[in-house]
Amino acid sequence: MKRTFQHIILVLFIVSSLSLFAQTNQNESQPIDREITDSIYSETLGAYRHFWVKLPDNYNPKNKMTYPVIYLLDGFSLKSNLEVVYDNYWGHYMPHMILVGISNRSNRTRDLTTSKVEMRRGSAMHSETGDAEMFTSFLENELITHIDKNYPTTTYRTLIGHSYAGLFTINVLLNHSHLFTNYIAIDPSLDWDNQKLLKEAKETLKTKNLEGKGLFVALAAEQLHMQDASVTIENLMEDTSEFSLFSRSIIEFSQLVTSETQNELNFHWKVYPEDLHGTIPLPAMRDGLVTLFKWYQFKSPQTYNNPKTTISELKALLHKQEIVYNQNFRYKVPPMIEELFNGYGYMNLQMGQPEKAFLFFSMAIKYYPESANAYDAMADYYISKSDTVSAIDYLEKAYMISGNSYHKDRLDDLKK
């Protein structure tokens, strides 16, 4: 197991993936269910609402580790999109997080639109509309409360919505910005009700304090005009027909936010010329999460990999990274995920630099004192130094935490 990860760490920054790190913390007799489908009865909505929760790979109910949370609207239909992005980019580009997908299969138009309308695009609306504030109340007072009570969460939350849910996402940012730190609005329906929310935003943004918030807006531009292929991103704003109002509204809003929020809001928007309304969620989730978590991205991997880098230089890099994390999360966060601490420890053992290996293994124990892997890795360090007594001591600590046969077998082998 350890040799496999030693090889992986050498190519870590090429493949940008840490998903093969083996966890040995949990007790084998108590397997951990990391994906839960559930529902709660909402007094606000007067109905049950289904949701799913996906816990990170390093989750262990025995320790006190807490996690940021991503809330995904239309969570069941867009589940695979979020999972593939998160599974490919956690570690180097974003932290371990809890994912929550919320069902909007019933009363979707009612719950996600921001005002009541009877006609849309020349046709009568056959669905209830305009109860976004009610659905926001459900999120704040019922669902988020439930998630925070039952899972190890932090207050650092991200909201993702597509189409009507994108409209809803922007409404939450403008009117309930305390609920989430980051907002990803994918092809948001800002043309709704003759651009009502867009018009309100022109006034709201003049006085709204969005410091510390992040917003990513995406526009699928393969069909900017429903009936005229000659309308392109270059001449879109010259068209005044209803058929381009959807895309024009997104661009107008993005330009408005750019001019009004200046450096206060971490704002980015992107046009996807080859994507349709139905295909944009996947690339937009990827770009939105990577962009809004750019500050998290692991810095200076070449310096960490360079055998000439001194221990004092490594400590300075880690200290700087910890400051960045603490400032953005607004609570204390280790400068590395545990997998990287252990990975760099093993890499330096392979490179014949035991002092550096000891630094990374020691920091893993310091920042993740409830992790069996951290003590197991330090045992390997002492085995490399032919210090069997110390290795046994650390393996006993690992076994005390995990209770699994892997550490028991290692202990028995060493004691023989």
pTM, rounded to two decimals:
0.91
What's the full length of the chain, in residues? Answer: 416
Q: What is the pLDDT of residue 240?
A: 82
Rg (CA), the chain: 25
Tokens describing residue 207: 């006085």
CA dist 135 and 25 (Å) reads: 39
Alpha helices in 90-215 (DSSP H): 108-112, 132-138, 144-150, 164-175, 192-207
pLDDT at 276: 93
Q: In this structure, what token pair is assigned to residue 390?
A: 């110390």
SS3 7: helix
DSSP assigned state of 140? I
DSSP string, 89-116: HBTTTB---EEEEE--SSSHHHHH-SS-
Query: Where in the chain is CATH 1.25.40.10?
Result: 301-415
Residue range(s) occupied by CATH 3.40.50.1820 in the chain: 66-296
Distances (CA, A) of 318 to 52, 140, 301, 313, 355: 35, 36, 11, 9, 16
| CA distance linking residue 115 with residue 302, whole number of Å | 52
Please calculate the CA angle 40-66-168 and round it to the nearest 5 degrees.
Answer: 50
Tokens of 65: 């580790």
Tokens, residue 276: 């349709």
Measured distance between the N- and C-terminal CA atoms of the chain, rounded to whole angstroms? 21
DSSP run (H or E) holding 262: none
Q: Which residue has the tokens 């661009």?
A: 251
Whether the CB-CB separation of 186 and 221 falls below 8 Å is answered with no
Amino acid identity, position 108: R
pLDDT of amino acid 264: 86
Q: In this predicted structure, what is the pLDDT of residue 225?
A: 74
| Whole-number Å distance between alpha carbons of 227 and 382 | 70
Superfamily the domain 66-296 falls into: Alpha/Beta hydrolase fold, catalytic domain (3.40.50.1820)
**Sequence letter at residue 171:** N
CA angle, residues 21, 27, 33, in degrees to nearest 5: 70
Question: Per-residue pLDDT for the chain (416 aa), expressed as one digit of tens each?
Answer: 443 443 344 444 333 334 334 444 444 446 678 999 999 999 999 999 999 999 999 998 888 899 999 999 999 999 999 999 999 999 889 999 999 999 999 999 999 999 998 767 667 777 889 999 999 999 999 999 999 999 999 999 999 999 999 999 999 999 999 999 999 999 999 999 999 999 999 999 988 999 999 999 999 988 777 777 788 888 888 888 888 899 999 999 999 999 876 668 999 999 999 999 999 999 999 999 999 999 999 888 999 999 999 999 999 999 999 999 999 999 999 999 999 999 999 999 999 999 999 999 999 999 999 999 999 999 999 999 999 999 999 999 999 998 889 999 999 888 88
User: Measuring CA to CA, which residue among 163, 270, 249 is closest to residue 199?
Assistant: 249
* Consecutive H or E run containing 53: strand 47-54
Q: Which long-range contacts (CB under 8 A, 24 or more apart) does 379-386 make?
A: 379/410, 380/2, 380/346, 380/349, 381/345, 381/349, 381/354, 381/357, 383/414, 384/349, 384/354, 384/357, 385/354
At 22 the three-state DSSP class reads: coil
CATH number of 301-415: 1.25.40.10
**3-class secondary-structure state, position 413:** helix
